[in-house]
């Protein structure tokens, strides 16, 4: 192996010298992505240079159906290399299989047609009318598909279901009065800005047992998110999926948004309204796999099994656990499709970035499944030539995707990787030789909290292990900390509130009854777990909707096993609005937490200095960005005049106190108290203060 570090990864190796033995491997992986980017940006007829942005935009503006407002012509282009002939059929031509044949495919497998206006000058295809493409295959058989780049697909009505079966149907979306955005994107600086993310699913965002809509979310939920103090929303299940219970992770139509919740203009209004509130909107984008549906998805779109995906016979075409198809990221046309998909959502819907789903599955040929999916952190597991099993093509795609997103949004792009493996350099800039993500999810944190609550008594909690897990992240690679996400809310798992209080939540959350030990403990620890994860666990924070107030029930979508019931596919915000229930206390604390961070800022600052992890007292103390955090996890013991080390001298005051009555506490803290430092070293800090810290209480203090 060469001792000279290749120039294209020198930044990453200088940043982390432990990468030196693997520099050549990192270099090869970056070279592949850079080569793809070069090929894409030089893939013009005359060989001239184009940007990734132009390539992606030109692609989504070229492929699919497009209406020319001036000429009233409709253009349609489709890539289907295995088809012999292609015809556009729909309500507009009474499903005539011969009247609108697409021009014969070119050398790349593209078919196209331009449909002139009707004699009265109107578009030949009415807005929102049903449409499909019919392919004639080499054996002269016929197949019907929804255009791959369709921007609207809906559940079939009885007429269509009789003719074509239960598959979704394509719609020609060309509204006469399209929504016009009124607000600019909120500004965001990745290097200095805080990111407090509210993870949400439109369909479940109502107390009623039904599918909620974009409009209802705009009217009813956005104001709550604003009040709580979150500055970003991560929208799940937006890309169209035929199976509701898949949680949006079995995508059938990549350019269409879920029609269950409403139409495209209503989603634009939602995002625009959020922007008007200063809230960024992220898309949970699923490029890690696709639904196996044939009639209404990409699978066997042109009759072959290897158009967008690896062939099944190759052993790489199907996910071993998800029952889904896996993209062939090395294909130029697949790169075109996926990259333009990102540009489409940024341009057309004004999304501000993406949470990339299933990055671990993408990164490894084993998809993180089985014994080979266990990751200890040893660099050989990721970067050894013979042991890493890394899918170089998938990694290269992610690198180029990050290039594109940051090119489209140079001042405010946000990309988050859902990666449990800890792949080194994933969140280093591309210019240094990294993959270019801004953040990765800190997926070990919720696992830790559930393991503790499931297996340990309160008096056995290990303060050092808690601190280690919360701070164990790669230097310089930012993470999104969270206690629980949608994964922990799903049926079969338990939310933290359920682990803490379980059945007592149904009987003892009323303020009309005296508090019980179970509820006291649950409310106290729910707040402490959130605060310490928020302040110690990462450079950004995420919460799944409803978990902020301890939603009392799990999440289960309508399916055969539950009789197609919506009872658990909803968020009971009505519980927060009921002044007779204690859910409001957790809700008010979450608002105080988010707004305290917004005012004083500890996220996206250097890691905290932890000065105390006391196993007997169950006390943790740390400083971050000039703020002092004091946690007493002891189940029974309160401490008077407890000595706390602090580096900077001065007068400290309380800015957040979990024991407030409005947060479900006992008002044992005098918040007018001021703590003056004593100039004497304590716990490796230059000064100390003395505080009263009751059991199961946390304080955040700031210099006055």
Q: Are 671 and 657 in contact (CB under 8 A)?
A: yes
- Rounding to the nearest 10 degrees, give the CA dihedral for residues 395, 400, 405, 410: 120
d(CA 13, CA 22): 9
d(CA 390, CA 374): 14
Cβ count near 406 (within 10 Å): 21
Q: Is 564 considered catalytic here?
A: no
- Kindly list the distances between the CA atom of residue 14 and the CA atoms of 303, 379, 429, 433, in Å, as whole numbers in the listed order: 49, 16, 13, 11
Residue 217 DSSP label: I
- Which of 78, 403, 418, 597 is labelled catalytic? 418
Assigned token pair, 317: 């075409």
Q: At what angle do helices 23-41 and 332-348 cross, to 10 degrees?
A: 70
Cβ count near 301 (within 10 Å): 24
Q: Is 597 considered catalytic here?
A: no
Q: Are 583 and 550 in contact (CB under 8 A)?
A: yes
The SS3 call for residue 5 is: coil
d(CA 351, CA 347): 8
- Which of 272, 357, 556, 590 is labelled catalytic? 357
Q: Are 590 and 523 in contact (CB under 8 A)?
A: no
Q: Please give the distance of CA 503 from its chain centroid, rounded to a whole number.
A: 31
Nearest to 582 by CA among 660, 508, 500: 508
- Kindly list the distances between the CA atom of residue 217 and the CA atoms of 206, 228, 236, in Å, as whole numbers in the listed order: 8, 15, 13
The backbone torsions φ and ψ at residue 125, rounded to the nearest 5 degrees and listed phi first, read: -110, 115
Q: What is the 3-state secondary structure (H, E, C) of 382-419?
A: HHCCCCCCECHHHHHHHHHHHHHHHHHCCCCCEEEECC
Buried b (16+ CB within 10 A) or exposed e, 678-690: eeeebeebebbbb
Active site residues: 357, 418
């Amino acid at each position: 192996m060469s001792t000279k570090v290749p120039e294209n990864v020198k930044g990453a190796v200088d940043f982390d010298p432990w990468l030196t033995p693997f520099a050549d491997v990192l270099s090869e992986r970056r070279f592949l992505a850079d080569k793809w980017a070069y090929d894409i940006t030089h893939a013009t007829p005359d060989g001239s240079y184009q940007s990734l942005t132009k390539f992606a935009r030109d692609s989504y503006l070229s492929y699919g159906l497009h209406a020319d407002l001036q000429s009233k012509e409709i253009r349609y282009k489709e890539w289907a290399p295995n088809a012999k002939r292609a015809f556009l059929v729909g309500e507009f031509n009474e499903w005539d299989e011969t009247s609108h044949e697409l021009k014969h495919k070119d050398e790349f497998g593209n078919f196209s047609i331009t449909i002139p206006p009707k004699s009265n000058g109107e578009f030949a295809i009415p807005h929102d009318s049903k449409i499909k493409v019919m392919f004639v295959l080499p054996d002269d058989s016929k197949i019907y598909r929804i255009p791959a780049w369709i921007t609207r697909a809906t559940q079939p009505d009885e007429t269509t279901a009789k003719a074509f079966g239960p598959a979704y149907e394509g719609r020609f979306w060309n509204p006469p009065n399209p929504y016009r955005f009124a607000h600019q994107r909120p500004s965001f600086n990745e290097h200095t800005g805080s990111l407090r993310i509210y993870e949400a699913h439109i369909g479940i965002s109502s107390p009623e047992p039904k599918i909620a809509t974009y409009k209802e979310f705009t009217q009813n939920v956005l104001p709550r998110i604003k009040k709580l103090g979150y500055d970003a929303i991560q929208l799940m299940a937006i890309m169209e999926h035929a199976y509701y219970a898949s949680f949006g992770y079995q995508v059938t139509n990549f350019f269409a948004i879920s029609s269950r919740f409403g139409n495209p203009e209503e989603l634009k209004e939602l995002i625009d309204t959020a922007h008007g509130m200063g809230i960024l909107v992220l898309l949970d984008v699923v490029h890690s796999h696709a639904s196996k549906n044939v009639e209404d998805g990409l699978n066997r779109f042109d009759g072959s099994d290897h158009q967008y995906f690896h062939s099944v016979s190759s052993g790489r075409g199907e996910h071993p656990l998800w029952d889904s198809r896996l993209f062939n990221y090395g294909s130029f046309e697949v790169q075109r499709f996926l990259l333009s998909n990102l540009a489409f959502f940024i341009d057309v819907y004004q999304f501000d970035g993406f949470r990339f789903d299933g990055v671990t599955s993408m990164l490894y040929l084993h998809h993180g499944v089985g014994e080979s999916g266990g990751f200890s952190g040893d660099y050989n597991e990721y970067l050894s030539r013979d042991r890493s099993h890394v899918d170089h093509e998938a990694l290269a795609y992610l690198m180029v995707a990050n290039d594109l997103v940051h090119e489209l949004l140079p001042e405010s792009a946000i990309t988050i990787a859902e990666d449990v493996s800890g792949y080194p350099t994933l969140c280093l800039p591309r210019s240094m030789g990294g993959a270019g993500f801004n953040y990765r999810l800190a997926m070990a944190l919720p696992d830790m909290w559930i393991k503790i609550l499931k297996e340990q008594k309160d008096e056995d909690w290990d303060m050092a292990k808690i601190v280690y897990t919360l701070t164990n992240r790669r230097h310089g690679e930012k993470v999104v900390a969270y206690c629980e996400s949608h994964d922990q809310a799903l049926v079969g798992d338990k939310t933290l509130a359920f682990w803490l209080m379980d059945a007592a939540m149904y009987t003892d959350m009323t303020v009309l009854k005296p508090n019980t030990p179970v509820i006291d403990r649950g409310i106290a620890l729910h707040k402490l777990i959130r605060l310490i994860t928020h302040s110690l666990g990462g450079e950004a924070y995420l919460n799944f909707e409803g978990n902020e107030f301890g939603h009392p029930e799990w999440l289960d979508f309508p399916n055969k096993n539950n009789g197609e019931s919506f009872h658990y596919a909803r968020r009971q915000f009505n519980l927060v609005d009921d002044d007779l229930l204690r859910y409001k206390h957790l809700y008010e604390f979450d608002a105080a937490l988010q707004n305290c961070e917004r005012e004083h800022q500890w996220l996206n600052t250097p890691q905290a200095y932890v000065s105390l992890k006391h196993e007997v007292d169950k006390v943790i103390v740390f400083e971050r960005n000039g703020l002092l955090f004091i946690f007493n996890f002891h189940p029974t013991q309160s401490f008077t005049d407890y000595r706390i080390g602090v580096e900077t001298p001065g007068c400290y005051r309380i800015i957040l106190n979990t024991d407030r009555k409005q947060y479900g506490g006992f008002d044992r803290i005098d918040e007018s108290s001021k703590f003056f430092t004593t100039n004497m070293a304590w716990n490796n800090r230059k000064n100390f203060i003395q505080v009263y810290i009751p059991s199961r209480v946390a304080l955040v203090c700031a210099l006055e």
